[in-house]
Amino acid sequence: MKNVWTKPEEYGDYFAWGETKAKDVYNVATYKYIMFNKKNQLKQETEKSDPLGWNMYFYRKYCMNEDDGIVDSLFTLLPEDDAATVNWGTEWRIPTFEEQSELEKYCERSLTEQNGVYGAKFTAKNGNSIFLPAAGFRKGSELINASLGGGYWSSSLNKVSCISAYYLEFLKGNHAAFYNVDRTKGIPVRAVLK
């Protein structure tokens, strides 16, 4: 297995959660599932005056609270919003949070290099392994923490707040863990077979 559009140790493309194409800028102004204010008037994101964007925008898909946007109660990416399915074909998809959790639960993790690329290697008891490059993430137009850490989207939305989705993260010198992160960030995808 490898990241979408890459060799196993390469970073590949970055995707906002639920988007299927890479882009140059990752923020609320470029996110596919954002609509700006209740009058739907497009406003530019101003991180200096409103770093969290409170009350400026609402979600048009994958939302469970009417204060956050249009409620559809979808918690898992649909195939048309899954970067792996759209880019590689219907037999591929992004793993769920529960499936990613199995890596931490059933595999031994080591931070290592493969072909000169730093990352995390998860090895199962049967000897099978998966290498995840420390590809960092994209915020705005910047690539952050590349070669220091990595994160990989799951297809699972945070069920408490639709602002974020689950992803697997690891940092140099630290263990792998699962967190919620802002859906608008550009994060790699590791595809699995259906």
Give the list of residues 6+ apart from residue 100 with CB closer than 8 angstroms, or none.
152, 154, 166, 167, 168, 178
Band of pLDDT at residue 3, cut at 50, 70 and 90: low
Return the domain boundaries, the chain. Answer: 75-193
59-63, 77-81, 133-137 — which one is most confidently predicted on average?
Answer: 77-81
Kindly tell me if the per-residue pLDDT of 45 is higher than 60.
no
**Residue 97 φ/ψ region, left for φ over 0, alpha for ψ in the -120 to 50 degree band, beta for the rest:** alpha
Task: Calculate what percentage of the chain has a pLDDT beyond 70.
Answer: 86
Mean pLDDT across the stretch 7-13? 81
Mean pLDDT across the stretch 37-50? 45
Q: In this predicted model, what pLDDT tens digit does every residue of 89-123 receive, in sequence order?
A: 999 999 999 999 998 899 998 889 999 999 999 99
Mean pLDDT across the stretch 165-180? 84
Which pLDDT value is given to residue 172?
Answer: 78
Lowest mean pLDDT among 8-17, 137-146, 150-159: 8-17
Take residue 40 and report the two structure tokens written for it. Answer: 């739907």
Task: Calculate what percentage of the chain has a pLDDT beyond 90.
Answer: 62
Band of pLDDT at residue 37, cut at 50, 70 and 90: low
Q: In this predicted model, what pLDDT tens digit does every residue of 115-150 receive, in sequence order?
A: 999 999 999 999 999 999 999 999 999 999 999 998
Take residue 94 and report the two structure tokens written for it. Answer: 């992004």
Which pLDDT value is given to residue 54?
Answer: 52
Q: How far apart are CA 158 and CA 148, in angstroms?
A: 25
| Angle, CA 175 vertex, CA 170 and CA 177 arms, to 5° | 65
- The mean pLDDT value of the chain amounts to 87
